Amino acid sequence: MHEYSIVTALLEQCEQHAIANQASRITKVVIKIGVLSGVEPALLATAFETFKLEGRAREAELEILHQELVLECQACQSTHTIKERSVICPSCHSYETRIIEGEELLLMQLELETDE
């Protein structure tokens, strides 16, 4: 399960941001997961709940934003947002497409608190 290593890296990144901003707590972590990222959102959420128990993120809420696939067709010059995992242009059925969005796993927002 590579979600465990992803969550470990995510929590380390959150801790570094918290330290840099002199925060005592991380209250919310918002990530965006693309449909082609290779990450299973449910497994990632479970791993987050398991590994957050130490450090500043122990009470943090995880919010997952799901990014659909955005394709740009080189053949017909169209752009499409699609829900399924397909790289075929829905307009002209060409395979000459470029993925614009949908492969990423990004930390989008981090809410921090200080003791002051």
Rounded Cα distance, 15 and 5, in Å? 15
Does the annotation place 17 within a ligand binding site?
no
- Residue pair 38/4 in contact (Cβ under 8 Å)? The answer is no
Does the annotation place 14 within a ligand binding site?
no
Does the annotation place 76 within a ligand binding site?
yes
**SS (HEC) of 46-91:** HHHHHHCCCHHHCCCEEEEEEECEEEEECCCCCEEEECCCCCCCCC
Binding site residues, as ranges?
A: 2, 73, 76, 89, 92
Binding site residues for Ni(2+), as ranges?
A: 2
Binding site residues for Zn(2+), as ranges?
A: 73, 76, 89, 92
